[in-house]
Amino acid sequence: MCGAGSRARIGYAQILPEVRMKAPIRVAVTGAAGNIGYSLLWRLASGNCFGDDQPMILQLLEITPVMERLNGVVMELVDSAFPLVHDIVATDDVNTAFRDADAIFLVGSRPRSKDMDRADLVAANGPIFVGQGKAIGESASRDVKVITVGNPANTNCLIARANATGLDGSCFSAMTRLDQNRAVGQVAAKLGVPAAQVQDVFVWGNHSDKMYPDLRKAVASELPAMGQLDLAWVREEFRRTVATRGKAIIMARGASSAASAASAAVDHMRDWWKGTNGRIVSMAIPSQGWYDVPEGLVFSFPVTVDASGTISVVEGLEIDAYTRDRIVENIQDLESERSAVAELI
């Protein structure tokens, strides 16, 4: 039975021989009974993220009042009979959720309500990431890969990282891949090509309406994208559409982005796990001073990832005055969030 602090175990009588070849990894997901969790878990369990030869133990965290709902999610996972899922742990205890975790998706947090501004959201969610950061430091694998999705994602990641004693900053990241994917979608639609033809789009800064989607290195159908697009469209309509897409989806759907957010989280973690093979993608990571972004701010940069999972910021990009202004705006945005949580880090 699944309940607070309890475990729901699944044993499969038959496991495919090729699945047996790898030892299972431990994948933790917080907010697992939420909307994003409901899409994310099925993508993870079907092999979309870590590969269809990589078995896993799912370690799902929820708050105590939501454990019964999580129990329903676990029942549905059991009913999906995923060959790659070797066990499911459903718990309201952070240390149990993160124990020996190889990959962690920090999704759970309080969503922004109508009467909250961004500062209220930072204040409401910050404390969650103190406790989760500590538990990650105490319980997770020493080379765990953590992606922070719950908003304000960059600053929540900063808090978790600051509280995860004993773990390197390179274990932590926040998600701006949804912004990148939204930007790719807009360019592909504008040029009338499939999204797969649009590459090397990346996002600078914060996952907020200040974030800056940069098309200067982007390629569409193997040609520079900027040569095919109108500069006024790129700087105005394109940027505004990407920055306000989350609100537009809430207006249209009556609920915030969930499937696209889960899909972006899978893209981010898959690229981290397997490498990008030279492609440039966006990840928000603790700055080491790249592009004059103050050290420690969790800032989205253009990055590549090698086959061993090492993230490298793409250095040496030309920073024109327009781009510098956008980077500075994002630094200010993130510094003000950091001051709002100063006592938590």
Return the DSSP state at 58: E
CA angle 157, 159, 164 (to 5 degrees): 90
Selected from 109, 139, 163, 180, the binder of ligand NAX by CB under 6 A is 109
181 touches ligand NAX (CB under 6 A): no
- For residue 330, give the H/E element and its range: helix 321-340
266 touches ligand NAX (CB under 6 A): no
3-state secondary structure of 79: helix
207 a catalytic residue = yes
126 touches ligand NAX (CB under 6 A): no
3-state secondary structure of 1: coil
Nearest CB to ligand NAX, comparing residues 55 and 205: 205
Closest C-alpha among 49, 44, 51, 58 to residue 86: 58
Selected from 77, 178, 187, 341, the binder of ligand NAX by CB under 6 A is 178
On the question of a cis peptide bond just before residue 152, with omega within 30 degrees of 0, the verdict is: yes
CB of 33 to ligand NAX, least distance (A): 4
169 touches ligand NAX (CB under 6 A): no
Distance (Å) of CA 217 to CA 213, 222, 279, 299: 11, 11, 11, 19
Residue span binding ligand NAX (CB under 6 A) among the ranges 144-152, 189-197, 305-313, 319-327: 144-152
Phi, psi dihedral angles at 332 (to 5 degrees): -65, -40
256 touches ligand NAX (CB under 6 A): yes
CB of 246 to ligand NAX, least distance (A): 6
Residue span binding ligand NAX (CB under 6 A) among the ranges 31-39, 44-52, 78-86, 212-220: 31-39
**What is the per-residue DSSP string for 81-98?**
T-TTEEEEEEES-HHHHH
39 touches ligand NAX (CB under 6 A): no
Binding site for ligand NAX (CB under 6 A): 30-31, 33-37, 61-63, 66, 107-111, 128, 149-151, 153, 175, 178, 207, 256-258, 261
Q: Which residues are catalytic?
A: 207
